[in-house]
């Protein structure tokens, strides 16, 4: 406010100050959370609890999303392939799109919707009811106790969920292939299997790992910086969801770019 | 007077601000062993910030805070944990962990304070003893959301004192409670102070709380409060502090606050009915 009187340059700097500070704060939190993975004390119970909430809790919805995306991909791809008389290649396309893109991205978005928001609202309400302060007062580092277990649990569970989603999606594609397109099961599964190269598998596992960091850290970051009562909790919850989703897509593009320019196909 | 013995808590020209809004302005005072300090002040005058600064939960912008002789204003969080182990704090909103039940809440500092080595077998007996002390022996398994406001306040007091810290700070322990519960809680705090001989900081809106602290003591034989006869063995000194808009505008004993001509201070004293 004072700066606006001192000319445009300082005003612009003032405008930039807040986002820059936010980014810095985010990376500080991320750094501390990751450093704590190798430091004692470890809160094993909290990790298990979070794994249950993230992994087991998200399983039904991830299975459903995976299955339907496999079904839809098979239907759409077979129609496009029919123009070239290549309906038999349906399995290849389903497999590639699922492992490279749909599996990681859709699963991450589902988990962001369930768990980024959950973390933001849980940590946010702890913040506004002074529980975070109480935690510090009673001898625990909130980052160690709250953030690190969530990061670890998400980094373990999201890749697993993605693998499940990929597989269920392939099964979904298989049902279409068999009952609608009358492709032989053997042919479908062979084409699914042959389509995948190491490049695809690493890409398909690296993505969920990176997305897991985004999902958990965005949820915790927005939760911990909550201010202003219950209203603030609602706000951080929304922000966490939006930020996580946008970042997932941005990082997806970046990772894909790296792999496309690296691998030939 | 007590220049030889180091202060338990000492503020030296402490200023705290949040994004330019000053919450504490140039505060200096010292609290010595066994002393009780009553901190009065209007809403938003900085009482909570004062307690949080004393615990290192908020960092001063300038000035120094000494707790047990150590400067905590520049201390990294890791080293602060040792000092916080010696401070018990009741938060204004109780701040019980809602994911834990009452027994787990009270056990939390015993299990998590790095500076407190409590053998595992000792934890539950100590938790039970402390909860009985605040007359909540029946509610070990209940969750904070299942308790009334006054019970939650008492559970939070139990959590604050379970480690028997030599410095105890209570933020508005009687706010929003009926007179009977408020009196029960004050009696508990006086009991805790007299049993453990701790230095006590009490933030309150009600002058009568301070009056109780200053003039009553816990009689362990009768298990009740009794008035301290005037001037007789006043070992535990009581000092009144009044905060106004982040400043410390008054610091002295009870006689001085009652005879003060300042209208702001007078408003707090007159509540005494
Ligand atoms: N975390 C914070 N961020 C920004 N401002 C704060 C924060 N904590 C306190 N303040 C400001 O500091 C000032 C003092 O607040 P404080 O909570 O200490 O008041 P108080 O004396 O405890 O009031 P009450 O009796 O209502 O509890 C207020 O103006 C408040 O807006
Ligand atoms: Mg307050």
Strand partners, B17: B22
pLDDT tens per residue, range A18-68: 888 889 999 999 999 999 888 888 899 999 999 999 999 999 999 999 999
pLDDT tens per residue, range B240-256: 999 999 999 999 888 88
pLDDT tens per residue, range A215-244: 999 999 999 999 988 899 999 999 999 999
State how many domains chain A has: 1
CATH number for the region B35-49+79-270 comes to 3.40.50.300
Question: pLDDT value at position A88?
Answer: 84
Q: Does residue A3 form part of some domain?
A: no
How close B91 gets to chain A, by Cα (Å)?
7
Q: How many residues does chain B have?
A: 273
Q: Does pLDDT of A118 surpass 90?
A: yes
Strands, sheet with B62-67, edge to edge from the N-terminal-most edge strand? B21-31, B9-18, B62-67, B70-71
Cα A126 to Cα A224: distance, rounded to the nearest angstrom: 8
Residue nearest to atom 22 of ligand 1 (CA): B48
Q: Does residue A23 form part of some domain?
A: no
- Asked if residue A221 lies in contact with residue A237, where contact means CB atoms within 8 angstroms, the answer is no
| pLDDT band at residue B2 under the 50/70/90 scheme | very low
Question: pLDDT value at position B271?
Answer: 56
Cα B1 to Cα A87: distance, rounded to the nearest angstrom: 95
Domain coverage including residue A228: 42-255
Residues of A with Cβ-Cβ distance to B115 under 8 angstroms: 139
Q: Does residue A125 form part of some domain?
A: yes
Q: Does pLDDT of B210 surpass 80?
A: yes
Cis ω on the peptide bond leading into residue A41 (within 30° of 0)? yes
For B96-138, the DSSP string reads: --TTS-HHHHHHHHHHH-TT----HHHHHHHHHHHHHHTT-TT
Mutation to probe ligand 1, out of B47, B51, B172 (largest number of atoms < 8 A from CB): B47
How large a percentage of chain A has pLDDT more than 70?
95
Cα B148 to Cα A115: distance, rounded to the nearest angstrom: 31
Per domain, the residue ranges of chain B are 35-49+79-270
Q: Which residues have any ligand 1 atom within 6 Å of their CB? A: B 18, 21, 23, 41, 43-49, 92
Locate B28 and state its tokens: 């200096």
B167 backbone dihedrals φ, ψ, rounded to 5°:
-125, 125
Outline where A36-102 has alpha helix (H): 44-51, 57-82, 90-97
Q: Does pLDDT of A6 surpass 70?
A: no
> In this prediction, does ipTM exceed 0.85?
yes
Q: Identify the residue among B20, B78, B90, B112 best suited for mutation to test binding to A, counting A beta carbons within 10 A and taking the highest.
A: B112
Pairing of strands B247-252, B62-67: unpaired
Of the listed ranges A29-38, A148-157, A243-252, the one predicted with least confidence: A29-38
Question: pLDDT value at position B160?
Answer: 93
Q: Does residue A35 form part of some domain?
A: no
Cα A205 to Cα A99: distance, rounded to the nearest angstrom: 9
Partner A contacted by B116 (CB < 8 A): yes
Q: Does pLDDT of B273 surpass 50?
A: no
Q: Does pLDDT of B63 surpass 90?
A: yes
Q: Does residue A208 form part of some domain?
A: yes
* Cβ neighbour number for residue B270 with a 10 Å cutoff: 11
Q: Which residue has the tokens 């004062």?
A: B50
pLDDT tens per residue, range B95-110: 999 999 999 999 999 9
Whole-model pTM?
A: 0.88
* Cβ neighbour number for residue A6 with a 10 Å cutoff: 11
- Asked if residue B200 lies in contact with residue B88, where contact means CB atoms within 8 angstroms, the answer is no
């Amino acid at each position: 406010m004072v700066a606006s009187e001192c000319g445009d340059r300082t005003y612009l700097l003032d405008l930039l100050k807040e986002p820059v500070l936010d980014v810095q704060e985010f990376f500080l939190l991320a750094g501390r959370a990751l450093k704590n993975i190798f430091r004692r004390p470890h809160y094993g119970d909290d990790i298990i609890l979070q794994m249950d909430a993230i992994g087991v809790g998200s399983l039904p919805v991830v299975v459903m999303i995976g299955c339907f995306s496999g079904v839809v991909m098979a239907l759409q791809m077979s129609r496009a392939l029919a123009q070239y008389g290549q309906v038999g290649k349906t399995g290849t396309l389903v497999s590639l799109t699922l492992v490279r893109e749909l599996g990681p991205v859709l699963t991450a978005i589902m988990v962001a919707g369930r768990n980024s928001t959950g973390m933001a609202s849980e940590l946010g309400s702890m913040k506004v009811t002074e529980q975070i302060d109480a935690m510090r007062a009673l001898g625990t580092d909130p980052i160690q106790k709250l953030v690190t277990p969530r990061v670890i649990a998400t980094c373990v569970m999201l890749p697993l969920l993605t693998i499940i989603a990929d597989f269920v999606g392939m099964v979904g594609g298989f049902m279409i292939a068999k009952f609608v397109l009358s492709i032989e099961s053997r042919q479908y599964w062979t084409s699914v299997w042959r389509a995948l190269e190491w490049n695809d598998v690493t890409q398909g596992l690296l993505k969920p790992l990176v997305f897991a960091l985004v999902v958990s850290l965005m949820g915790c970051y927005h939760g911990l910086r909550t201010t202003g009562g219950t209203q603030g909790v609602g706000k951080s919850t929304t922000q966490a969801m939006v930020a996580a989703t946008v970042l997932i897509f941005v990082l997806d593009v970046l990772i894909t770019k790296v792999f496309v320019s690296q691998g030939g196909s | 007077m007590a220049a030889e013995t180091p202060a338990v808590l000492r503020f030296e020209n402490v200023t705290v601000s949040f994004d330019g809004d000053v919450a504490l302005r140039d505060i200096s005072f010292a609290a010595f062993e066994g002393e009780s300090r009553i901190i009065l002040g209007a809403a938003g005058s900085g009482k909570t910030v004062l307690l949080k600064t004393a615990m290192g939960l908020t960092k001063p912008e300038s000035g120094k805070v000494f707790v047990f002789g150590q400067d905590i204003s520049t201390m990294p969080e890791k080293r602060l944990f040792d000092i916080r182990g010696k401070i018990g704090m009741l938060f204004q909103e109780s701040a019980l962990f809602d994911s834990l039940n009452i027994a787990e809440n009270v056990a939390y500092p015993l299990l998590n304070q790095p500076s407190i080595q409590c053998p595992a077998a000792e934890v539950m007996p100590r938790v039970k003893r402390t909860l009985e002390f605040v007359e909540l022996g029946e509610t070990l398994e209940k969750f904070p959301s299942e308790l009334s406001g006054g019970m939650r306040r008492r559970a939070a007091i139990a959590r604050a004192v379970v480690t028997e810290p030599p410095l105890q700070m209570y933020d508005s322990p009687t706010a929003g409670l009926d007179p009977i519960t408020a009196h029960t809680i004050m009696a508990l705090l006086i009991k805790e102070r007299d049993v453990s001989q701790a230095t006590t900081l009490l933030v309150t809106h009600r002058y009568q709380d301070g009056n109780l602290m200053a003039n009553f003591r816990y009689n362990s034989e009768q298990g009740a409060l009794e008035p301290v006869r005037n001037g007789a063995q006043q070992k535990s000194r009581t000092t009144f502090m009044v905060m106004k808009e982040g400043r410390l505008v008054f610091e002295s004993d009870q006689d001085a606050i009652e005879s003060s001509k300042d209208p702001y201070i007078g408003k707090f004293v007159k509540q005494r009915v």
